[in-house]
Amino acid sequence: MIPIGQAEFITTAVKPSGYPPPGPPEVAFAGRSNVGKSSLINTLTRRKKLVRVSGTPGRTQHINFFSINQDAIRLVDLPGYGYAKVPKAIRAAWRPMVEAYLSGRDTLAAVVVILDIRREPTGEDLMLLDWLRSLQITVLAAVTKADKLSNNQQASRLAKLRPTLAPFDPTPTLFSASTGQGREELWARVCEAAGV
C-alpha cells in the first residue's frame, strides 16, 4: 500500500482519443449521481477539492483522470448515472462513454462501486455490477454516508446488503466522507487491487 502524497488532475475525456496514454494501474469510481462519489475520492486522497463536489446532481458527465504519487497509480472518476432530471441525450451518452473505458482500458485494475447506506441498490446499480462481472473487472463495493446512521443501524444495513453484494464483493467497505470512516480500509483495498 502506498501512502498518499501528491494527487493531481491529469485530464478530462469523453472518448478514448482523449484519455491520457496508458501508464500505471487505474482504479475507477462509479455510482449514482449524488451518491457521494466526489466526496469519497476527495476523502480518499485527503484533498478538499481534487474533485468538485456538486450541489447539482448529475453535473459530471466526463471521465476525469487523476494521478497519485508521481503516477504510481491513477484514479478515474466515471460520470454518475441514474439521475432522473438529467436530459435524455446525456443519459443516453453514459453507457457508450463508460463502456468504451471499461472494455477498452488495459490498465484498468478495479472499479469502486459506491452505494448509499440508506438506499437499496437500484436496478442500475445492479446492472453495473453485473456488467463489471461479465467483463471480469474486480469490484470494490463502498457503502458511503455511513455517518447518517448509528453504529447499530450501520451494522444491520450492512448485514442486509451483504447477500446482494456478495457475488460481486464479499467484503464491502463502510465509508463516510464526513468522518473519514473506512478511508484506510478502502485505500488499502484500492492499492491491493492495483498491485501497488
Ligand X SMILES: Nc1nc2c(ncn2[C@@H]2O[C@H](COP(=O)(O)OP(=O)(O)OP(=O)(O)O)[C@@H](O)[C@H]2O)c(=O)[nH]1
Q: Which residues bind ligand X (CB under 6 A)?
A: 31, 33-39, 53-54, 57-60, 80, 144-145, 147-148, 176-178
Q: Minimum Å distance from CB 90 to ligand X?
A: 12
Decide whether 54 or 164 has the Cβ nearer to ligand X.
Answer: 54
Q: Minimum Å distance from CB 137 to ligand X?
A: 20
Q: Give the number of other CB atoms < 10 A from CB of residue 32.
A: 23
Helix (H, G, I), strand (E, B) or coil at 12: strand
One DSSP character per residue, 38-86 reads HHHHHHHTT-SSSSPPPSSTT---SEEEEEETTTTEEEEEPPPB--TTS
Decide whether 51 or 107 has the Cβ nearer to ligand X.
Answer: 51
Decide whether 141 or 177 has the Cβ nearer to ligand X.
Answer: 177
User: What contacts 79, CB < 8 A, 6 or more positions away?
Assistant: 60, 61, 62, 63, 94, 97, 98
Q: Minimum Å distance from CB 148 to ligand X?
A: 5
Decide whether 60 or 138 has the Cβ nearer to ligand X.
Answer: 60
Q: Minimum Å distance from CB 126 to ligand X?
A: 18
Taking alpha carbons only, the member of 49, 191, 29, 55 closest to residue 115 is 29
